[in-house]
């Protein structure tokens, strides 16, 4: 009985639409299915990959010509390839405590960066929210932050070594104290720029401070927060390489210092390439995360 009634109602609704369409039944247009355009994807890849490769080839050619003459102080690319071939083609070898591939050394450094930068991100967002939300906190803390952020990263290393009596936590502290300032400053700016309408909505909904922080403040300031995180992760990578040169260990920074003491310039050049590529990947990962979370509104 109910099925018959539903069918009758459907037919009545359809017949009511017929006069408006001239007595013809018009089917609703369906949304076109997304197409996978291989040529467009390939064209985008060519646009983003080919120009850097061309520039890199030109720079390598200039480098080869400039450093191939007798008496050159730096090795040309051909000599770097011949002398550091194993570091380039086998980045994951492990022949002992200090005889490991550059990729493994980068992973050791990245572990320290993950800890130090992770702590700086959490503390920086919280402190930045306090400074941006409270006028009194901004007046009291912002001048101190502005002074401390100008201290070079390695200037903190002697104090951290004296405090922790160990190279690993000292290096992590240097990363933390170096990368926290851009996170604090950008978060504070983002919190200050939250529209008043958002704050009024929070008052209407009677959100407590924790709910306002999670549901209003962080999403609204997310583009500024991820801008600070991108700056902070770059500073973290710079700080760990410099700190490892002095604290030792098996990280990429100590490898460069050890190669310099052994006059292995080709190894240093290869290590610099590893550092640059790793820093580029870290920046793009944080930018991608920010783009996903903020739905493309992050300031890249």
pLDDT reading at 37 higher than 60? yes
The span from the CA of 262 to the CA of 259, in Å, is: 5
Domain at 75-91+100-293, CATH homologous superfamily: MetI-like (1.10.3720.10)
Strands (E), 186-259: none
pLDDT reading at 168 higher than 50? yes
Report the share of the chain in percent with pLDDT over 90: 34
Report the share of the chain in percent with pLDDT over 70: 85
Nearest to 116, CA basis, from 185, 179, 182, 184: 179
pLDDT at residue number 12: 47
**CA angle, corner 290, sides to 286 and 296, nearest 5?**
135
pLDDT reading at 245 higher than 60? yes
Both tokens of 138, joined, read 């901004």
pLDDT at residue number 35: 58
pLDDT at residue number 95: 80
pLDDT reading at 206 higher than 80? yes
Residue 51 gets which letter from DSSP? H
Both tokens of 167, joined, read 């190279």
Extents of the domains making up the chain: 75-91+100-293
The span from the CA of 275 to the CA of 284, in Å, is: 14
The span from the CA of 154 to the CA of 172, in Å, is: 12
- pLDDT tens for 74-98 read 899 999 999 888 888 888 888 877 7
pTM: predicted TM-score of the whole model, two decimal places: 0.76
DSSP H helices, 149-195, are: 157-164, 167-192
| Site of tokens 């930068």 | 117
- pLDDT tens for 117-144 read 999 999 999 899 888 888 888 888 888 8
- CA 82 centroid distance within chain: 34
Residue 154 gets which letter from DSSP? G
| Residue 100 β-bridge partners | 94
First vs last C-alpha separation in the chain: 61
Residues 6+ apart with CB under 8 A from 222: 190, 290, 293, 294, 297, 298
């Amino acid at each position: 009985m109910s099925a018959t009634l539903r069918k009758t109602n459907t037919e009545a609704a359809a017949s009511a639409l017929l006069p408006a369409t001239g007595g013809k039944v018009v089917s609703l247009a369906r949304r076109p299915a997304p197409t996978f355009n291989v040529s467009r994807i390939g064209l985008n890849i060519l646009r983003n990959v080919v120009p850097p490769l061309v520039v890199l080839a030109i720079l390598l050619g200039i480098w080869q010509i400039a450093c191939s003459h007798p008496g050159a102080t730096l090795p040309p690319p051909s000599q770097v390839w011949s002398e550091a071939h194993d570091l380039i083609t086998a980045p994951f070898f492990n022949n002992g405590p200090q005889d490991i591939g550059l990729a493994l050394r980068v992973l050791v450094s990245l572990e320290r960066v993950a800890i130090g930068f992770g702590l700086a991100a959490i503390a920086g967002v919280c402190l930045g929210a306090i400074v941006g939300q409270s006028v009194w906190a901004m007046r009291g803390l912002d001048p101190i932050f502005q002074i401390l952020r100008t201290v070079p990263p390695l200037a903190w290393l002697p104090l951290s070594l004296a405090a922790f009596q160990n190279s690993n936590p000292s290096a992590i502290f240097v990363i933390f104290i170096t990368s926290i300032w851009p996170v604090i400053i950008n978060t504070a700016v983002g919190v200050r720029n939250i529209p008043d309408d958002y704050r009024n909505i929070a008052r209407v909904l009677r959100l407590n401070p924790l709910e306002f922080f999670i549901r209003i403040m962080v999403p609204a300031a997310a583009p500024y927060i991820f801008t600070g995180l991108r700056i902070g992760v770059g500073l973290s990578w710079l700080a760990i390489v410099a700190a490892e040169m002095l604290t030792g260990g098996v990280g990429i920074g100590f490898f460069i210092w050890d190669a310099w003491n052994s006059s292995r310039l080709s190894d240093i050049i290869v290590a610099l390439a590893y550092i640059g590529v790793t820093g580029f990947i870290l920046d793009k990962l944080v930018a991608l995360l920010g783009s996903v979370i903020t739905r493309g509104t992050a300031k890249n």
